[in-house]
Structure 1
Amino acid sequence: MNVESVMHKQAGWASADTPVREVARMMAKDDIGAVPIGRDDRLVGMLTDRDIALRVVAEGLDPNTTRAEQVMTKSLIYCRTTEAIEDAIRLMEARKVRRLPVLDENKRLVGMLSLGDVAHSAGRQLTGELLQAVSDHHD
């Protein structure tokens, strides 16, 4: 089974210059914890609810004037539509992430793969291993 058959299709994204408050509203509206961030039709990062809590709220920044690119996670971790779901799970485990943007052969964002998607498609053992890996305490 490949990633394309499991992922959420038509993932939305926000522009790098979008104010954090607008991205947070997108998260609330769609009940999600991360929004891909793009510039010039290319994925450049991810803004997570954790980024907002630690890099905006905890630092006392104004979410109305702080732009997504200023506080987003820049180290991009993604998978491809054609990858085996097991490979994507191993990547999520290794990088301790709960969601991955999914890119097509043209490096365009076409979906998101989440822990929930994995839980609905993969076996219990793989799902359990992934959940344990991404939930381990940080050192």
Structure 2
Amino acid sequence: MKIRDIMTRQVEVVRPDDTIRSAARKMDQFNVGMLPVCDGQTLVGVLTDRDITVRATSAGLAPDQCKVSEVMTAEPRYCYEDDAVIEVTRLMGDLQIRRVPVVDANDRLTGIVALGDLATDAKDDAAVGDALDRISTPSEPDRT
């Protein structure tokens, strides 16, 4: 089974020059915790609700002045439409990530695959369970 078979195709995005307030509103409107950041159709980053909280709010950045590009995760992990579901499942488990943008052969954003897509549509229950287990394992704080 390929990622194209289970991914979500209708994906809301934000631009790097959008404010984090407008991005947060979009997250609220669509009930999502991550938005791909695109310059045109090219994926340039991802913005999570955690990025907004940890990189902007905790630093006291003004939501109407702070741009998405200032707090987004640049160079995000992504996969291709024709990648095998089992490989992307392993990647998500290894990296402890719940969502992965999907691009086509021309590196244009075409969708997103989330843990929920794997849980409801993937056929390898053992692999999905293993990925969920690894994603859910608490990580150590990055502070010393």
Which blocks of at least 5 consecutive residues in structure 2 are unaligned?
Answer: none
Aligned: 1:73 with 2:78:
no
Which blocks of at least 5 consecutive residues in structure 1 are unaligned?
Answer: none
Return the TM-score normalized by structure 1: 0.95
Report the 3-state secondary structure (helix = DSSP H, G, I; strand = E; otherwise coil) of the residue aligned with 1:111.
strand
Deviations 1:26-73 (A, max 9, x none): 110111010011224311100001101101111111111100000001
Distance, in Å, in 2 between the alignment partners of 1:64 and 1:10 is: 27
Runs of 4 or more, structure 1, over 2 Å off, are: none
Distance, in Å, in 1 between the alignment partners of 2:129 and 2:15 is: 34
Identical aligned pairs, as a percentage? Answer: 35
CA RMSD, 1 decimal = 1.1
- Paired residues, what number? 139
Return the TM-score normalized by structure 2: 0.92
Aligned: 1:91 with 2:75:
no
The aligned amino acid for 2:54 is L
Aligned: 1:136 with 2:140:
no
